[in-house]
Amino acid sequence: MKMKWTSYPYILWMIIFIVVPLALILLFSLTIGEEEGIRNLQFTLENFKRFLDPKYIDVLWVSVSLALKSTAITLLLGYPMAMIISREKLSKRNIMILLLVIPMWMNFLLRTYAWLTLLGKNGFINYIVTKIGFAPLNLIYNDRAVLLGMIYNFLPFMVLPIYSVLTKIDKNLIEAAEDLGANKVKVFLKVIFPLSIPGIITGFTMVFMPAVSTFVISRLLGGGQYLLIGNLIEQQFLWVGDWHFGSAISIVMMVFILFTMAITAKFDTDKEGGGGLW
């Protein structure tokens, strides 16, 4: 009974701040009319039909494309980084993890703003380039700058899950593979990599989900030239004032994200990771 009573505040919190907002978003997505008078709302699927316009589908495609690219690059960069950290002594390992996590303590917006001073036309990088004698580079307000911002901000979310799984791998399995004549490449391909797949899947989810819905990075580093799905939702709520269409886009994104999570969960047969060979 004590456990039951202690769960009531949590359940109340969930209802007020999760269930009710989601219900309102679903209500607005399925209706048209004035938000001030809920009785005047008319149920319709028109908001979802509007999203089928090719220009909005292109925005979704660009968002997914950039998110997949950033996820792939963070995996290529994060996996070796996680392996290097996991093989260090515990004292060095903790310091390296701390150095990886410290930038995350800073506000997300400030971290993104910092790249403006580095990539800008009069930024630090172009200052060095012009001092060497070359013409300034076009480093900002393009898709490469947006991609760089995603990689920088979301790289720790790829490294940490993989690192967590790698540290749980039983060293006896690696030693047994080596005793049976496997070289380092075979040990990695046959033992380490299969056991680290749960961490890769978790890292994929943790990077892809925020990357596909981000709007701050594309607004600052893209200069408003690259409209992603997150920017489109923000515009509908804050600038256009069309909460119905904005809610419909939000529901589409939620369904898309849940669908992606369901696909990744299919491959995550070992929820803990690092236990034994598949």
pLDDT for the residue numbered 38:
63
What φ, ψ does residue 207 adopt, rounded to 5°?
A: -95, -45
pLDDT for the residue numbered 53:
94
Q: Spell out the per-residue pLDDT of the chain, length 278, in tens.
A: 455 777 888 899 999 999 999 999 999 999 987 655 566 778 999 999 999 999 999 999 999 999 999 999 999 999 999 999 999 988 899 999 999 999 889 889 899 999 999 998 888 999 999 999 888 999 999 999 999 999 999 999 999 999 999 999 988 999 899 888 889 899 999 999 999 999 999 999 999 999 999 999 999 998 877 789 999 999 999 989 899 999 999 999 999 989 888 888 777 655 544 444 43
From residue 33, alpha-carbon distances to 46, 47, 244, 252 in Å are 12, 12, 8, 20
Nearest C-alpha neighbor of 46 from the set 60, 37, 33, 61: 33
Question: Angle at which helices 108-119 and 143-168 pack, to 10 degrees?
Answer: 130
pLDDT for the residue numbered 265:
79
pLDDT for the residue numbered 212:
93
pLDDT for the residue numbered 42:
86
Q: What pTM was estimated for this model as a whole?
A: 0.87
From residue 251, alpha-carbon distances to 185, 254, 264 in Å are 45, 5, 20
Q: What is the DSSP letter of 192?
A: I
pLDDT for the residue numbered 125:
93
Nearest C-alpha neighbor of 162 from the set 94, 85, 217: 85
HSE-CB for 231 with a 13 A CA cutoff: 20
Q: What angle do CA 234, 240, 244 make, to 5 degrees?
A: 75
Identify the residue whose tokens are 């990088």: 125
Complete domains list, the chain, with CATH: 1-44 (no CATH), 61-267 (1.10.3720.10)
Task: Decide if 228 contacts 66 (C-beta within 8 A).
Answer: yes
